[in-house]
Every structure is written in structure tokens, then in C-alpha cells.
């Protein structure tokens, strides 16, 4: 069984995340969207809100499960018997950063990272940009799944 973990804070999930996940569905038998818990990080949306946004976005997709975890992603992958980590790449800076993590994860655990390039339509979207728009009372609806903006 090909099971991939798509880790992130998803604060909030964006159309960029949704694009990567939708394009990965045919590649894997199961995709676990795993919200990482970092006690030192300040989130705009609560863990429950983020879980609900994602569950609502993918409610009709049987290959998707949504969960939370803390600690190392590779340790979480081992606990759920996943051999793949799924990551999206927007630009060359993402690649350099993600490459170092992927190599380290493979050395630590043997778990492979699968990268998908974002589509041209969503490559500019980031959760931090969305949060900045929302903090300043802007309309970020064109960057978010409708389940986040309802």
C-alpha cells in the first residue's frame, strides 16, 4: 500500500495545498494530511478549526484522512506505516530548503519524499500571505477553499 503523509501547519489550508493534494491522489492509495503541532508557534486558527477546514474540503475523497501529530514527521510516518512524505514546491528557494529536509529524513528513516511542483495558478499562494491579508481585513477568498471562507 502506498501511503503518503502530507505534513504542515495548514494555518490555513490554501488552494495551493488543495492543488498538490488533488494531483497526488492518483499516485497513492492513501494520503494522510497531518497537521503538525508546535507548542512554540502562534497560530491564527485553532487546531480544531484547521482540522475542520481540511475535513470539510476533502469530505468526499475516501483516500484522504486528516490527523494531527507532534514530534518528527519521520517518527509519525513510522507509527502509521507510511513510506512517503508528500511536499509541494513553489520556487527554487522551497526546493533548496525541502531538499535538505528530504535527504535528512531519508538518512534517518529510509522514508522517501515525493515532490510535486505547484501549478502556475497557485504557485504564488502561501499561508503566511493569506494570514497577512486576513489580519488586515482583506478578502483572501480567491486563495482559499470555500470551506475556509464560509
Residues labelled catalytic: 17, 41, 90, 127
Residue 119 has, within 13 A of its CA and on its CB side, a CA count of 13
Residues 19 and 116 sit within 8 Å (Cβ to Cβ):
no
For the chain, what's the residue count? 150
Cβ neighbors of 73 (< 8 A, separation 6 or more) are 5, 7, 34, 36, 85, 105
- Cell readout for 48 is 480544531
Amino acid at each position: 500500500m502506498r501511503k503518503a503523509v502530507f505534513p504542515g501547519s495548514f494555518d490555513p489550508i490554501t488552494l495551493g495545498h488543495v492543488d498538490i493534494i488533488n494531483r497526488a491522489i492518483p499516485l497513492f492509495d492513501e494520503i494522510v494530511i497531518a497537521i503538525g503541532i508546535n507548542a512554540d508557534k502562534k497560530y491564527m486558527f485553532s487546531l480544531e478549526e484547521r482540522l475542520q477546514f481540511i475535513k470539510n474540503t476533502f469530505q468526499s475523497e475516501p483516500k484522504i484522512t486528516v490527523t494531527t501529530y507532534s514530534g518528527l514527521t519521520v517518527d509519525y510516518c513510522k507509527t502509521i506505516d507510511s513510506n512517503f512524505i508528500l511536499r509541494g514546491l513553489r520556487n527554487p528557494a522551497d526546493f533548496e530548503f525541502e531538499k535538505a529536509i528530504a535527504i535528512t529524513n531519508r538518512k534517518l528513516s529510509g522514508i522517501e519524499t515525493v515532490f510535486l511542483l505547484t501549478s502556475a495558478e497557485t504557485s504564488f499562494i502561501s499561508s503566511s500571505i493569506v494570514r497577512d491579508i486576513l489580519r488586515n481585513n482583506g478578502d483572501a477568498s480567491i486563495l482559499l477553499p470555500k470551506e475556509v471562507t464560509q
